[in-house]
Amino acid sequence: MVLSSSKMTPTPLQNALYKNAGAFHNVVPFDATRDSLLQLDFTANNTTLTDHILANTDAFAKYIEQQLGTKYKYGIGGYAEHRTIYSRSSRFDKGEEPRRLHLGIDVWGPVGTPIFAPLGGYVHSFSFNDFFGDYGATIILHHQLEGVSFNTLYGHLSLRDIEGIQEGHYISRGVEFAHFGPPKENGYWPAHLHFQIVTEMYEKRGDYPGVCRYSQKEKYLENCPDPDLILQMMQYAVKA
């Protein structure tokens, strides 16, 4: 269990998620007995990820494909990771301090990979955040667990996933409701899911920062606990 507070004291939400860890449905198709995961490193330590690759979405997608090869079903990782990849978009460079600290877990895989609701919840909001480097198509679900309210955010989806849905619509545990979107629909990234837990939305709708300034680390990690409390996948990942 990864704690997101400098006090190292689990929050009520962390406790509820930890207690119910075995009850969540897989967010993406994954069988730990046969599927392999590669933990990708997008920090400055990864010198193979050059500026040329980051500047070109096709080259970036090819890089991910080469890393995964035929051995790994998904690339995964990134929670609380101080990343260099956000230099590819001005979206993260506003203000004196750029945003580089990742608040979710990314699961990298083929376009069209299905996404399932890990537990029942209502559609809180959705949006097409159509800016280079942004989420693209996004859905946020609202949940209740042992009396604790929280939200799960799904970014970089297919546009078809936000067509015909409505706020307040209930999605049951295990229902397929979204898919990894292509670059033109997912903010111009290689296909992947950005999965994030958000305790309090602070009146935001269809969007919530998935990357923050390092100086705001404690504030944002407090509000966005480790998504692997739901995913339960990082234990199976092999480091690149």
pLDDT of residue 53: 94
CA distance 212 to 78: 13
pLDDT value at 217 more than 50: yes
Fold for domain 33-239? Glucose Permease (Domain IIA) (2.70.70)
pLDDT value at 183 more than 90: yes
pLDDT of residue 8: 65
pLDDT of residue 89: 81
Tens digit of each residue's pLDDT (9 = 90 or more) over 97-123: 898 999 999 999 999 999 999 999 999
Domain boundaries, the chain: 33-239
Q: Give 1's pLDDT tier (boundaries 50, 70, 90).
A: very low
CA distance 124 to 205: 8
pLDDT of residue 95: 75
Tens digit of each residue's pLDDT (9 = 90 or more) over 133-148: 999 999 999 999 999 9
Tens digit of each residue's pLDDT (9 = 90 or more) over 145-181: 999 999 999 999 999 999 989 999 999 999 999 999 9
